[in-house]
Amino acid sequence: MNKSLIIQAYIYCGLSRGSLIASVSTVTIKMYSLSCFYPFDLSKPIISTISVSVLVGSALGSFIASPIIKKLGRRKTLICFSLIQVVSEIFTFIPVNWIYLSIFRIIAGVASNFTLTSVPMLCAEFLEPIQRGAIGSVLNIAISSGIVITNVIQYFICLNYKLYWIIMLLPVLSSLFTFIISFKLLEINQNIGIVQQTEKIFQYKYIRCFLVAIGLGFLISGTGINPALQYSTIILKNSFDNVRSSSIGSIISTGINLIASIIALPIIRRFKRKSLLSFGFSFMFVTHNNNIQKCELE
């Protein structure tokens, strides 16, 4: 029973995170601006600030998550911060101004980081190591699905700016379901998944894991996939002879990302994680280097 609930929590957390990131494309920001009493200018700094606000919140959350989870426990943390996420996302419905929207998206980003940290810790209590890799892929699929669903919703309502709040509804519902499920979850061992003592963190195996995680983060950011997905509505706005051209382009680009996540699931279950990590690093490095060379030629 608890395994099923944890998997559901994983899926809802992923949907919430993906839809939260995608819910402020340039099209949505424009719709939000037109709904405000005093519409703001869609300048690049304002669009960038609103777009990265969730990621800023996630970064802040990663610094403070460990001591709070250690004090409250994983289940209580999930309950508290999934509720905070619901409330902060509801406040983004109110069309005030871009500063107001950015502040509440930062809060939602902090809460989202806490939920995405708590659920894997609970997962570690009930799933075997080989199952954890697969469930991690399910989380990635859920995040990609949240992005695609949000873009599909945007396609249907982008011509009526007063309906911008519908785009922001999916992360609210997903966070609400996570909040409801968290009451039914069981927590066996309070010490599982808690950050190790300070002196142990400096052991070689922990340092190696940290270096791999940092390197992977920089490598993924260097590919340009995140800004490409975030600004796909601008990049592809003239790709189709249609008033919804930008929405169509974003659906295609994010849909490809979802398909790639689904394809990866059976591969992860069949091969060892270290082999997959080595292959992934090598493949990303080669393709990224090839892209740089093409840009230099152009």
Give the angle 232-235-241 at the CA atoms, nearest 5°: 100
DSSP H stretches of helix in 23-128: 26-35, 44-72, 74-91, 98-126
The structure tokens 């390197």 sit at: 215
Domain ranges of the chain: 2-297
- Tell me which of 60 and 225 has the higher pLDDT: 60
Give the angle 182-184-187 at the CA atoms, nearest 5°: 80
Q: Report CA dihedral (154, 159, 162, 167) to the nearest 10 degrees.
A: 0
- Summarize pLDDT for 172-190 with one digit per residue, the tens: 999 999 999 888 876 655 4
pLDDT on residue 108: 94
DSSP string covering 237-260 = TTSSSSTTHHHHHHHHHHHHHHHH
Q: State the average pLDDT for the chain.
A: 77
User: Which residues are CB-contacts of 191 (< 8 A; sequence separation ≥ 6)?
Assistant: none
What crossing angle do the helices spanning 98-126 and 44-72 adopt, rounded to 10°? 40
**Rounded-to-integer distance, Cα 12 and Cα 20, Å:** 12
Distance of CA 250 to the CA centre of its chain: 16
Q: Residue type at 55?
A: L
pLDDT-derived band at 87 (thresholds 50, 70, 90) equals: very high
pLDDT on residue 257: 75
pLDDT-derived band at 193 (thresholds 50, 70, 90) equals: very low
pLDDT on residue 80: 92
Distance of CA 34 to the CA centre of its chain: 26
Q: Is-contact 40 91, C-beta < 8 A? A: no
pLDDT-derived band at 144 (thresholds 50, 70, 90) equals: confident
For the segment 149-164, the average pLDDT, to the nearest whole number, is: 86
In terms of residues, how long is the chain?
298
Q: What percent of the chain has pLDDT over 70?
A: 66
Say if residue 61's pLDDT is above 60: yes
Q: Report CA dihedral (67, 69, 72, 78) to the nearest 10 degrees.
A: 150
The structure tokens 């590919």 sit at: 223
Say if residue 209's pLDDT is above 80: no
Burial, 129: exposed, middle or buried (Cβ in 10 Å; 0-12, 13-18, 19+)? exposed
Q: Does domain 2-297 have CATH number 3.90.1150.10?
A: no
